[in-house]
A and B are shown apart, each in its own frame.
Chain A
Amino acid sequence: MLKVRVIPTLLWKSFGLVKGVGFDSWRRVGPVLPAIKVYNQREVDELVLVDILAHGTGDDPDFESVNDFGQDCFVPLTVGGGITNLAQVQRLLRAGADKVSVNTAAYENPGLITEIAMKFGAQCAVASIDARAQPDGGWLCFSHAGQTPTGREVADWARELEDRGAGEILITSIKRDGTMEGYDLALIERVAGAVRIPVIASGGAGSYGHMVCAVQQAGASAVAAASMFHFTEQTPAGAKAALAAAGIPVRKPYQPDRDA
């Protein structure tokens, strides 16, 4: 049976990990590499690493840093931030990324998702959407780390990304991000209902109960969180125990046979 994944999101800016609220007021969290080592030792299900400064600079992603980060990562690593072309994806995969997440570039060049899916497989193309709830209901998508309105309605955009070949959608509520008030369940439900590919819930997780709701009520295939792992005592292992207690299948650490 497929397990629901608990995914720490690591936002990275210049030399360290940061976390903000509503895509703003960034706080320093600490260095990147030790965090990845610890998560790897604790056998987290997967990691998402996003360079939040990379969008729109026109510079290449920081391949050398990704190479360092990948040294100690033996679980799937998704790398995002500033990806605009296939050559960058190839270099990231060689540096240790297993998937890439594309956000801003997908609005400017939607064909990029298709190109990545054709060349490296749909499983490699994680489409990231940052959405903001609108006063009149519904959600619109924003690019450039939540700063630039795109005018795209979230379900339409999610469907287009799926049609263009994305293998997963990472949906983040800009408003809930960093608040630890809980995921925007209606947003996640809207996206999960619009597509047939797996959807990763993001933005607002503050407790294990929020994660249970994202899976059971909103239909998320995986749950991502940053603040609750950075700033509270809660851990990915604790999250999995809580999910399991709620009847949700989670991955258990490897237990060798006696002959091991």
Chain B
Amino acid sequence: MKVGVLDYGVGNLGSVLRAVEALNVSPVLVDRAVDIHLNDCLILPGVGNFIDCARLLAQGGWMDALRQEVLGYDRPLLGVCVGMQLLADVGLEGAGPDDPQGTPGLGFIPGQVEHLSTLGCALRLPHVGWNGIMNTTPRDGLFAGIPDGTDFYFVHSYGFVAKDPADVLATADYGGPVTAAVRRGHVWGTQFHPEKSSRAGSRLLRNFLSGPQC
């Protein structure tokens, strides 16, 4: 199995690669969009902000290549943190009077990405630290062996608001419900960082990589 970790210019790539290697899988760092098709499944990492990430994806031809491979050829994809947020139609990070429309994302999972404070969170932001997942969709392979209440490492200020609640796989509570994981078909995303969530994160990555999709 070839696991491609997309290197489009941002992200804590070292951590993601190591977490995959710890599962005895050799990941490939994919630094050209034209090489996406060489991989059986894809991990889209992301730290940073939505606008920069979306711009880098567009500049490098990643947007089109991902749409072709993921939508056209059903290549499985796991987005992590901003990588998950990029699965949405639009990110409102940086949106304001000058740019009320926000920034287009990949559009794989309908929804938009908004600041947690506009979603009603009155607590300190960013939401940093270990938080328990809840309302996990039963029997989704991504959470096999991972019970509700398991803590994962979150660090973000924006949240994914899915148009269809059925696309939300799990939530966490931080001054209100926060989308913790999404799925539509063979596209998954986690707001938390499995690569930094110790044994629970390792189990989740193993679930993704050993699922029938990969």
Nearest-CB residue, chain B, relative to A253? B199
Q: Is A45's CB under 8 angstroms from B129's CB?
A: yes
Q: Which residues of B contact A (CB under 8 A)?
A: 10-15, 18-19, 22, 47-49, 52, 82, 123-132, 144-147, 150-151, 153-157, 173-174, 193, 195-203
Q: A75-B153, A198-B124 are in contact. Are A70 and B15 (CB under 8 A)?
A: yes
Known interface pairs A1-B131, A121-B49; 7 further A-B residue pairs with C-beta atoms within 8 A, sorted by A's residue number: A2-B131, A70-B14, A93-B12, A94-B14, A123-B47, A197-B125, A254-B199
Question: Which among A93, A196, A252, A256 is the interface contact of B47 at CB below 8 angstroms?
Answer: A93
| Shortest beta-carbon distance from B1 to chain A in Å | 21
A150 and B54 CA atoms in complex are apart in Å by: 39
A96 and B52 CA atoms in complex are apart in Å by: 21
Q: Is B14's CB under 8 angstroms from A67's CB?
A: yes
A-B CB proximity, top 10 nearest = A260-B145, A254-B200, A123-B155, A96-B14, A251-B130, A121-B48, A251-B151, A254-B199, A3-B130, A256-B145
Q: A123-B155, A254-B199, A256-B146 are in contact. Are A98 and B130 (CB under 8 A)?
A: no
Q: A2-B129, A259-B144 are in contact. Are A118 and B174 (CB under 8 A)?
A: no
Q: Is B202's CB under 8 angstroms from A124's CB?
A: no
Nearest-CB residue, chain B, relative to A124? B47
Question: Which among B14, B48, B144 is the interface contact of A95 at CB below 8 angstroms?
Answer: B14
Residues of B within 8 A of A257 (CB): 144-147
In residues 208-260 of chain A, which contact B (Cβ within 8 Å)? 221-222, 251-257, 259-260
How large, as a class, is the contact surface on chain A?
35 or more
| Chain A interface helix/strand/loop/mixed | loop
Q: Is B19's CB under 8 angstroms from A97's CB?
A: no
Q: Which of A97, A222, A254 has the most CB of B within 10 A?
A: A254
- Within 8 Å of chain B (Cβ to Cβ): is A107? no
Question: Which among A70, A76, A168, A260 is the interface contact of B153 at CB below 8 angstroms?
Answer: A76
Interface string of A72-97 (1 = CB under 8 A from B): 00111100000000000000011111
Residues of A within 8 A of B202 (CB): 74
A98 and B126 CA atoms in complex are apart in Å by: 15
Residues of B within 8 A of A102 (CB): none
Q: Is A119's CB under 8 angstroms from B127's CB?
A: no
- Within 8 Å of chain B (Cβ to Cβ): is A145? no
Q: A70-B15, A93-B12 are in contact. Are A252 and B126 (CB under 8 A)?
A: no
Q: A70-B15, A70-B18, A94-B14 are in contact. Are A75 and B126 (CB under 8 A)?
A: no
A257 and B144 CA atoms in complex are apart in Å by: 8
Q: A167-B126, A221-B128, A257-B145 are in contact. Are A74 and B12 (CB under 8 A)?
A: no
Question: Which among B48, B131, B193, B200 is the interface contact of A120 at CB below 8 angstroms?
Answer: B48
Nearest-CB residue, chain B, relative to A168? B128
